[in-house]
A and B are shown apart, each in its own frame.
Chain A
Amino acid sequence: MSAAELARDGPTLHGPELAARLERSWSRDPGLLGWLATVDHKEIGRRYLVTAFVFLALAGVLALAMRVQLARPDQNIIGAARYNEIFTMHGTTMMFLFAVPVMDAVAIYLIPLMLGTRATSFARLNAFSYYVYLAGGMLLWIAFVLNVGPDVGWFAYVPLSGPEYGVGKRADIWAQMVTFTEVAALSVAVVLTATILKQRAPGMSLDRMPLFAWAILVTSLMVIFSMPSVALASGMLLSDRLVGTQFYNPTENGDALLWQHLFWFFGHPEVYIIFLPAVGFVSEITATFCRRPVFAYPVMVMAVVAIGLLAFGLWVHHMFATGLPRVGYSFYTAASMAVAIPTGIQIFCWITTMWLGRPRFDVPFLYVVAFIVTFVIGGLTGVMVASVPLDLQLHDSYFIVAHFHYVLIGGAVFPLLGAITYWYPKVTGRLMSERLGKLSFWLLFGSFQLTFFPMHLSGMLGMPRRVYTYPAGLGLELPNFLSSIGAFIVALAFVLFIANVFLSLRRGAIAGPNPWKAGGLEWATSSPPPPYNFAHVPSVGSATPLWDGPLKWMSGLRVDEKEMLLTTVVSARPDLREPVPEPSIWPFISALALTVMFVSSIFSPWAVLFGLVPLGVALIAWFWPKQLEPTAEPVIE
């Protein structure tokens, strides 16, 4: 068979016959083995999403437990030690097992669809990352259930987490959970970066890329340059605890502040790693529901890039209370205030888009409005605590707790819930109930303010964070009681949201490919999309191709083999045809081998050495090619 005779899509092969043949090439084996071996980004994205929401629910239950304990003064429902574990688990789960992975989930599912490609880059690495993430989450939660959960706070400061004070295995579990989630997040970052740079549909030059893709590109680069820091820091913590290194031990001229620098060099960009995908959600939703592209696209892109860069210059503002040189205070105050500028520009661009457009106040758009209100409040308290004298007053108080919940829930969770409502019909083929959606939205928006606004007050009245109780008579009773009431209503709103998700799976209105009449490529394929995403390669001439009239296509990809198109980095001209990896069980087995190595290395350093053997075998089996290419290919220039 020559290259010319290989089956390809095109004028002679399209429609149902093409769909059936592509389905054969792209679908995976049924059964458990096929399920574990899948490399379909949509399946992996869905698994990430479901898992992240399970962790959200678990961490949410812990939040409720804390609010019960704090509802009234001098209570002893939860003791001090258990309370330490609970707030540690809550923060750690929310940051490492919910916030970052849930953004990855949406990106893994949507980015290839938005770019008009059939798969992500490195599809097996993508599958591997999910299993590693799941193993890390299970390590943390199984340890908690076995009463060896970490109790040192989500940033695990030394010396509290070091060998002198952090006795037992609690801190080791925390540190190794970090290793798991960093491996997963870094893998996803590599996958998404390569996908966004190399797999955009022909014609989708960088200046026509959806703003969500820009946000994810910058986020992925931030992951690449920040997460090694926490992996290094937690590796050093583990080795201090396990093999007696002295990195953080001041008596041997180590330094506890080294931990804080390394942690926050990751920890501050982390905030924007969670926030920037939300910027992408908000931009996509605003454009669709205002019926026009987001105002000042180049300015929006520059703002996203500027936030990505500035985020690396702020970490020391978490350390104002440790004592710094004067010039350090000035520099980091200025940098912290500077990041408000690109963020403010974005807010004004969205408001202008609404002003110029014809907004339709459906549930996804309501979340955008709630985001703007809530995030601006959180941003303003952020500017307040960027000022050193005020920060020294408010540091480690409930004011900070209020600030970061406004920023993280207002800035990321509201847009996320809007995004889920918005893209739900793409994933499931049905729309979520608008009535139930509005009910849960208003309940959540109101109860969020009820829960977290009083924390500003309790913080200013002097209530420190992370205390398991407080005395009566200091004026803390009312704000704490209100927060506790609010927290339960927040939980009710989430239950309604999730109920809507499940009920709409069966009862929701049939969506069709483009229920919102949106402009992006993800709406050009059926809902839910077939395993190969697009039967032909879409070709685009603007940032909102579906608003330009009928879509144009390119043909000629292989039909009986999994194949996708690579394009050039800047202008997205067709460049290479690339085979897509077949499903493989080896990423799962590799993740399993890695898990055995990581978990046993908590107990013995030798596990690192012996654990490498099965891991190496699994990785070689993963990468070893399974079949020769048909002789008619490749086409060589």
Chain B
Amino acid sequence: MSDAPTFERDLADVPTSAFGSRSLTWWGVIAFMAIEATGFALAIGAYFFLMAHEHSWPPEPWLPPDLLAGTLFTTLIVLSEVPNTLAKHAAEKHDLPAVRRLLIVMAVIGAVLLVLRGFEFNSLNVRWTDNAYGSVIWLLLFLHTTHIATDWADTLVLAALMHTREGEEARRFTDTSENSLYWRFVWLTWLPIYLLLYWLPRWAP
């Protein structure tokens, strides 16, 4: 075909990176959040389904989990939203030095959270093999731990990447911003699980 097709518009001036719902990465992260949120919701459904079979919760003679490690964990993960938001804003302003600094802060927080999580497993006062109650609270804690670990690994890789020349590339700032978005999901999903693990067994008859 020698004749040029009819062109309505030239797209050369269309930008090559953006934040939020304009970027493809954002949609990928949202879709995976939807998948994982569904998983959490169903696991929580299983928790209540099994709870309905018991006369007391936790079933006699088991004790509810000890509060210390879980509460420390919860406090830290809620506070982590401060550097997380700062990292997101720094990325959106293409402020590379701040992004580098804050990603390291987030990586350290992730490591501390994983250590605290180890203590949490140790303070559940029940083993997963003991009964369905033990199985389901181990399940919830395990599922959430996979999210902490995944995001921690992701943050480590991103922090390393941002310390190379790649970090100057606009698309990497989008990656950083979406990583922060995912971290919000990780700590927000923790809050109902914290209540189900530590407080509902204290409040339930």
Contacts and interface: CB of A to CB of B under 8 A. Distances in A.
Interface string B114-139: 00000000000000111111111011
B157 A620 contact: yes
B15 A637 contact: yes
A189 to B, nearest CB: 7
Contacts of B71: none
Nearest to B166: A625
A217 to B, nearest CB: 12
A568 B134 CA distance: 47
Given A194-B24, A553-B8, A577-B11, A252 B128 contact: no
A553 B5 contact: yes
A253 B11 contact: no
Q: Helix, strand, loop or mixed for chain B's interface?
A: helix
Contacts of B136: 247
A265 B42 contact: yes
Contact of A254 (B8, B34, B132, B171): B132
A263 to B, nearest CB: 11
Contacts of A14: 1, 4-5
A629 B169 CA distance: 8
Nearest to A637: B15
A553 B59 contact: no
Interface in B1-37: 1-2, 4-18, 21-24, 27-28, 31-32, 34-36
A575 B14 contact: yes
A613 B23 CA distance: 30
A245 B139 CA distance: 9
B22 to A, nearest CB: 6
B170 interface: yes
A629 B161 CA distance: 15
Interface in A532-583: 536-537, 539, 550-557, 565-566, 568-569, 574-579
A127 to B, nearest CB: 15
B8 A539 contact: yes
A635 to B, nearest CB: 5
A552 B6 contact: yes
Contacts of B22: 566, 568, 575-576
B16 A578 contact: yes
Contact of A554 (B2, B8, B157, B161): B8
Interface stretch (B49-57, B74-82, B183-191): B49-57
Contacts of A578: 16, 24
Count chain B CB atoms within 10 A of each CB in A197, A252, A265 and give the residue with the most: A252
A198 B27 contact: yes
B98 interface: no
B46 interface: yes
Interface residues of B, number: 58
A255 B11 contact: no
B16 A576 contact: yes
Contact of B12 (A3, A236, A539, A636): A3
A500 to B, nearest CB: 33
A22 to B, nearest CB: 14
Contacts of A186: 35
B35 A624 contact: no
A328 interface: no
A197 B23 CA distance: 11
A240 B134 CA distance: 12
Interface residues of A, number: 76
Contact of B5 (A224, A247, A536, A577): A536
Contact of A228 (B21, B38, B157): B38
B43 interface: yes
Given A245-B128, A253-B131, A628-B165, A636 B35 contact: no
B35 to A, nearest CB: 5
A298 interface: no
B195 interface: no
Interface string A580-623: 00000000000000000000000000000000000010001001
Contacts of A262: 42, 46
A10 B1 CA distance: 14
Nearest to B158: A623
Contacts of A265: 42
Contacts of B111: none
B201 to A, nearest CB: 15
B192 interface: no
A11 B4 contact: yes
A351 to B, nearest CB: 36
A315 B26 CA distance: 32
Given A247-B132, A636-B17, A624 B39 contact: no
Nearest to B165: A628
B130 A252 contact: yes
B129 A232 contact: no
B54 to A, nearest CB: 6
A193 B169 CA distance: 27
A245 B140 CA distance: 13
Contacts of B129: 243-246
20 contacts: A15-B1, A122-B28, A186-B35, A228-B39, A232-B39, A245-B138, A247-B136, A255-B49, A258-B49, A265-B42, A536-B5, A554-B10, A556-B10, A556-B13, A574-B9, A576-B18, A577-B16, A578-B16, A620-B157, A633-B16
